[in-house]
Structure 1
Amino acid sequence: MTDFQSELSGIAKAIEVALDEYLSAERLGGPGAPPDRLVAAMRHGSLNGGKRLRPLLVKQAAAVFGMEREQSLVAGLAVELIHCYSLIHDDLPAMDDDDFRRGQATVHKAYDDATAILAGDALLTHAFALLAGESCHADPAIRVRLVAELAAGAGAGGMVGGQMRDIEGESRGFSEGEIAQMQAMKTGALIRASVRMGAILGGADAAALTALTLYGEAAGRAFQLADDILDVTASAEAMGKATGKDAAAGKQTLVARLGVEAARKHLDGIIAEAIAALGAFGPEAEPLRATARYFGSRTT
């Protein structure tokens, strides 16, 4: 097992444990007790799978500044809750209409559409509760910055807005520039936010934050392009979800525009761009470089 694989496995296990502990009636309680069915649906959509790449990026960016994994875990968990909520909603019949995710029935198939919507809503809400708590960071000013960063990456100018642009593109078509903008929002914005949140936790100065932002933006583009290539080339069994749906739905992707081989060459260039953005950092940023390379070589 390589250092990267060991690190990825370690963060996946840590996030799985943290999710299992947090997604309980006791931890999620408010003025009233959370309904058992809602908690079960939240757990179904969050546990038992996923590479936990966004928490990994939070951890790696924070580690550039000497932070240990435990110091960035809560922020990483918050990002993962946002990611899980987005998958639950994306799988709904009104969106991508998928029956399987991570090799199991999607939440709306295992429960029902309304429960899936509410499970996603709850995961979204509790992500910000995590960032607001002292267990995330002792300094309230840092916690406020993290909340704002995640909201920007997940909101109308980020992930949610990108999903809207994706839907619009199915009917009217996109230029290559519009495809890039849509993907930078739909997928890239949360990856960018993950890197920036790690940097904020670590106390990055303006120059370091700018460099890491450039890395995060390139890494986000690389991840989405790799995902689009896999939708064309990988099997549903390998991916744990349906493949080949982008073309069937008329989705606007660079793979559809360029072809697989040209898209792979473009992906290599984006990964080189991500690594170049880390030029001011030494070996402390090697894990981030390894993650960028992984985005280009992954098969699932």
Structure 2
Amino acid sequence: MISSNDFNQWQTRAQAQTELILNRVLPTAQQEPIYLHEAMRYVTLDGGKRLRPLLVFASAALGQADHDFAELCAAAIECIHVYSLVHDDMPAMDNDSLRRGKPTCHIAYNEATALLVGDALQTLAFDLVSRPSQLPTETQLHIIQTLAHASGSLGMAGGQAIDLAHVGKPMSQAQLENMHQLKTGALIKAAIRMGALCCTDMTSAQLAQLNDYAQYLGLAFQVVDDVLDCEQDSATLGKTAGKDAQQNKPTYVSLMGLDQAKTYAQELIDGAINSLISFDEHADLLRSLAYYVIKRQA
């Protein structure tokens, strides 16, 4: 197992690498339309845990990867994630004013610009994954399809719709998990699969095991998110704390209580780790990312 110090160094390097890639692929703030491009850079750069790009890089480390295309995949998945945050924060959805420790896009700019920022980031993501690569055409199309499926009505957007439809309404644990497998888990699962598909020697059996890992990890991330929403303040989280409780949204904490939610998160992380049992030390980054998810404070 990789040491915590080595993992922290890798994480810092990978986050910095993600920042450089995003800075490179985003339109410059001097390019017309200047206001839109400035807003795109405002919401995308200098913030966030970059978990999804980290998962792309970690899964690409499992085999013989096209590293240049893995970088594009990392940037693409982050563009989709950021677009979802921009739209999620708008008055028609969660109506939030703080994200990644700074005013949300519609507050810093305006609602129309926030809508266009989300639209532009989404299309930029598919521009990135359709660029030339060293991968077989069929594999690259599989990556594009993976990102599209995870982003749409059968993935993240569908999960958002279910979330909005259940404000103030009870949900069973099964319903809550289905919602979060779409809203949060779909992009996490896509990040892992996209990175793995960048490896030309990845087998279908390994992809199936990574899918199990992603299922556990995606749910664990959301359970931990619900716990942190109760325990941390807005300054630590970089977003408005207690927002779900204020809006009377169902969460794992409201459903099963704080202590049981923490226990459940640990069980999910254990399941994620066990899913990697047949992988060698090249999966240590994925193992460490699972521990990072359960230990994070924001």
Q: TM-score, normalised by structure 1?
A: 0.94
Give the 3-state SS of the residue equivalent to 1:178 in structure 2.
helix
Give the structure 1 partner of residue 21 of structure 2: 18
Question: Conserved in 1, the CA contact under 8 Å of 2:65 and 2:199?
Answer: yes
| Correspondence list, 1:33-72, <5 A | 34-67=32-65, 70-72=68-70
Task: Measure how far apart 1:137 and its partner are.
Answer: 4.1
Cα distance in structure 1, aligned partners of 2:58 and 2:66: 9
The C-alpha deviation readout for 1:50-79, integer Å capped at 9, x for no partner, is 111101101111111143754511111100
Question: Conserved in 2, the CA contact under 8 Å of 1:85 and 1:120?
Answer: yes
Higher relative contact order by CA 8 Å / sep ≥ 6: 1 or 2? 2
Give the 3-state SS of the residue equivalent to 2:184 in structure 1.
helix
Matched, 1:106 2:104: yes
Give the 3-state SS of the residue equivalent to 2:166 in structure 1.
helix
Cα distance in structure 1, aligned partners of 2:120 and 2:238: 24
Letter aligned with residue 24 of structure 1: P
The C-alpha deviation readout for 1:90-140, integer Å capped at 9, x for no partner, is 110111111111111111001000000000000001100100001x54432
Cα distance in structure 1, aligned partners of 2:191 and 2:108: 30
Letter aligned with residue 243 of structure 1: A
Give the 3-state SS of the residue equivalent to 1:97 in structure 2.
coil
Q: TM-score, normalised by structure 2?
A: 0.95
The C-alpha deviation readout for 1:167-198, integer Å capped at 9, x for no partner, is 11114321111000001100000000111111
Task: Measure how far apart 1:265 and its partner are.
Answer: 0.4
Give the 3-state SS of the residue equivalent to 2:46 in structure 1.
coil
Give the 3-state SS of the residue equivalent to 1:170 in structure 2.
coil
Count residues in correspondence.
294
Question: Conserved in 2, the CA contact under 8 Å of 1:25 and 1:39?
Answer: yes
Identity %: 38
Question: Conserved in 1, the CA contact under 8 Å of 2:83 and 2:118?
Answer: yes
Give the structure 2 partner of residue 252 of structure 1: 250
Question: Conserved in 1, the CA contact under 8 Å of 2:52 and 2:188?
Answer: yes
The C-alpha deviation readout for 1:224-244, integer Å capped at 9, x for no partner, is 111111000011111111100
Letter aligned with residue 167 of structure 1: L
Cα distance in structure 2, aligned partners of 1:20 and 1:188: 26
Cα distance in structure 1, aligned partners of 2:285 and 2:25: 27
Letter aligned with residue 27 of structure 2: S
Cα distance in structure 2, aligned partners of 1:268 and 1:138: 37
Give the structure 2 partner of residue 197 of structure 1: 194
Alignment root-mean-square deviation, CA: 1.6
Give the structure 2 partner of residue 30 of structure 1: none
Question: Conserved in 2, the CA contact under 8 Å of 1:8 and 1:53?
Answer: no
Give the 3-state SS of the residue equivalent to 2:167 in structure 1.
helix
Give the structure 1 partner of residue 145 of structure 2: 148
Cα distance in structure 2, aligned partners of 1:239 and 1:172: 26
Letter aligned with residue 14 of structure 1: Q
Question: Conserved in 2, the CA contact under 8 Å of 1:78 and 1:130?
Answer: yes
Cα distance in structure 2, aligned partners of 1:285 and 1:21: 29
Question: Conserved in 2, the CA contact under 8 Å of 1:137 and 1:143?
Answer: no
Q: Return structure 1 stretches of 4+ with deviation > 4 angstroms.
A: 68-71
Structure 2 portions without partners, runs of 5+: none
Cα distance in structure 2, aligned partners of 1:69 and 1:3: 21
Task: Measure how far apart 1:26 and its partner are.
Answer: 9.5
